[in-house]
Amino acid sequence: MVDNDIGTSGPARGNGKGRTSAARSRSAPRHSARSSGASQEAMKKQIAELKREVSRLNRMLADQADETANSWYQSAADSASDLYHGASNRASRAARQLRTQAHSVSETVQHNPGTISTAVAIGGLFGVLIGLAMARSAEPDPDWFRRWSHWSR
């Protein structure tokens, strides 16, 4: 009896003209290895292309972020400069106004020395009276008073 078992993994038996499934399965890995190698090369090329694309996108994002940061900085600098100039103008007007008023008061004092000294004296008197009234309305701390009077004996 001739052994024509197709499912064996041993060498093919027969006259060698036909291929058994074992012979076909041995040649399939070679063919799939070639196609696998080609597909791996294609995938490597795609991965390299994707890496280049990601790098390009990263550069574009960095450039856009830099431009945005520069525009924000410039905007903030312009706003600060405008605020500084506005404040400077207001301060200069206030200084001129104060100078004018000080000059006016100075002239008034020079022309009326008696009136000014009387006004200052009356203001001082009112200050003293207000201070005395506040001192009388505040009750002294009895503990402090007793301690002080006790030590003074």
DSSP-derived secondary structure letter, 20: P
Based on the domain organization, do 119 and 100 belong to the same domain? no
State which amino acid sits at residue 35. Answer: S
Q: 25: domain range? A: 19-111
Show the DSSP H helices in the chain as ranges.
21-111, 113-137, 142-152
Based on the domain organization, do 72 and 119 belong to the same domain? no
Based on the domain organization, do 76 and 117 belong to the same domain? no
- Tens-binned pLDDT, residue by residue, of the chain (153 aa): 445 544 444 444 445 555 555 555 555 555 566 778 888 888 999 999 999 999 999 999 999 999 998 889 999 999 999 999 999 999 999 999 999 999 998 888 888 888 878 888 999 999 999 998 887 776 656 666 666 665 555
Query: How many domains would you assign to the chain?
Result: 2
